[in-house]
Amino acid sequence: MLKAISPLDGRYYERTAPLGDYFSEFALMGARVWVELQFLLALDPYGIFPPLNKRERSKIEKMAKGFSPDDYTAIKKIEAELNHDVKACELYLQETLGLRHPNRIHFGLTSEDVNNIAYTLLLKKYRDERQLPRLRELLNFLADKIEAWRSIPIPARTHGQMASPTTAGKELAVYAERLLRRYKELKNLKFRAKCNGATGNYSAFTAAAPGTDWQKFAANFIESLDLEMNPATTQIEDHDSWADYFYLTRMINGILLDLDRDMWMYLMLGYFRQKTQSAEVGSSTMPHKVNPINFENSEGNLGIANALLDHFIAKLPNSRLQRDLSDSTVERNFGVALGHGELGLGETLHGLAKVDVNREYCVQELNAYPELLAEPIQTILRREGFEKPYEMLKNLTRGNRLTVAELNKFIDSLKISDELRRELTALRSSSYTGLAEAVCSRILAHLKKVLGNA
């Protein structure tokens, strides 16, 4: 697409094209038609119209199996005259199905009954078929890295300053656990929908067929689509479950953003390094450059996604009185937000696949900061009842750079037992990582348990 306005349909088209199956106008129209057809089948047993004959049922089932470009073009032609997309679907189905009683099509429905179900089914389908599998791919990749890096020490930074060491695997375990938590919430999220007419009171249904339990009908119909019925609405479904979905997606994107920025910083500090590709260029003028472009690209895409998701979350649960159309154009941008989010996740994965721990440098850096051992030394001295050990270590180390020899000289000056002296002098910055490996084991077990049952 040479003149695409959005990079999703231009530069990134090959990577985002599959999202057209969920968020294109074609996909939306196909979902509307499918909902109308399922409604026909659900309505048939209630005897409001003569039963569908074998030929009619066969035509309905056949159309439900495949929505074609020709179907779409014909509906859009009708819409151009009516200026109403859902009504165009109804008229097209009347023309195409050739039912003996065409009035059963769209019986008692308002356009929002069709639209809210269609959009919800598309969101659910996207979540189940693409979003959750991509998240599983990332979580499995993180699990492999956690396993490989669980015991590799790296410097830790708090407020940007050198702090108690950690391991590379444990730092990824933090992100894996956060993502896994949201993954489970996203997977278990139940989408809601409604099918209750123009102002949510089943008025047209009840007027035409007062003997039918329309609330039960709606619940059965909605639940047959693996959705949950919203029992009380205005003309529109309140979209609270959409907001829940977009909130969880936004939280996942936020965790990825945090990971991107930390990896960028670790690369800047030299704790990680990137694998080079011989044909790639990092700078048009500086040949030595190997830039962290995947993490930067991810950050930009996730930022765009979250800006849109913030608007979705704030806007969609609000509508003036019974309904206004301000949600319509917002709904048509679902694929834009989710497309940028998917690009961001993919770039994070690509970036992680290109990095490795700069082990030698990390150990060298840790050994150059023996003052990091001030924490375990003062803590051990507390255990021994030593008077004001924190203040003593603070005076020795705060704002000062020490050598191992100077630290050992300090330890030798303490009036402590030889056994305690040996315990303190045996401490090393490069091995002072606490239970980092045990944390990795715990998170790996959690990942295996959840993803094994995915």
Instruction: Give the residue numbers annotated as catalytic, written as ranges.
Output: 159, 283
Residue 172: which residues within 8 A CB-CB, separation 6 or more?
A: 142, 145, 146, 149
The encoded tokens of residue 190 equal: 């139940």
What does the chain come to in residues?
454
Distance CA 10, CA 116 (A): 29
Query: What phi and psi, each to the nearest 5 degrees, are found at residue 6?
Result: -95, 140
Cβ-count burial 246-267 (b if 16+ within 10 Å, e if not): bbbbbbbbebbbebbebbbebb
Distance CA 427, CA 410 (A): 14
Distance CA 230, CA 238 (A): 8
Cα 266–Cα 253–Cα 186 angle in degrees, nearest 5 = 130
Tell me if residue 400 falls in helix, strand or coil: coil
The encoded tokens of residue 157 equal: 């930074």
Distance CA 180, CA 207 (A): 49
| Residue 84 per-residue DSSP state | -
Residue whose C-alpha is closest to residue 90's, from 70, 104, 80: 104
Distance CA 396, CA 407 (A): 9
Which CA distances in Å does 40 have to 57, 116, 300?
9, 17, 45
Distance CA 20, CA 335 (A): 8
C-alpha gyration radius of the chain: 30
Cβ-based burial of 325 (10 A; exposed 0-12, middle 13-18, buried ≥19): exposed
Distance CA 390, CA 444 (A): 35
Please say whether the dihedral angle defined by the alpha carbons of residues 248, 250, 252 and 254, taken in this order, is positive or negative: negative
Place of tokens 């000062």: 400
Give the E-state strand segments of 190-336 in sequence order: 192-193, 228-229, 272-274
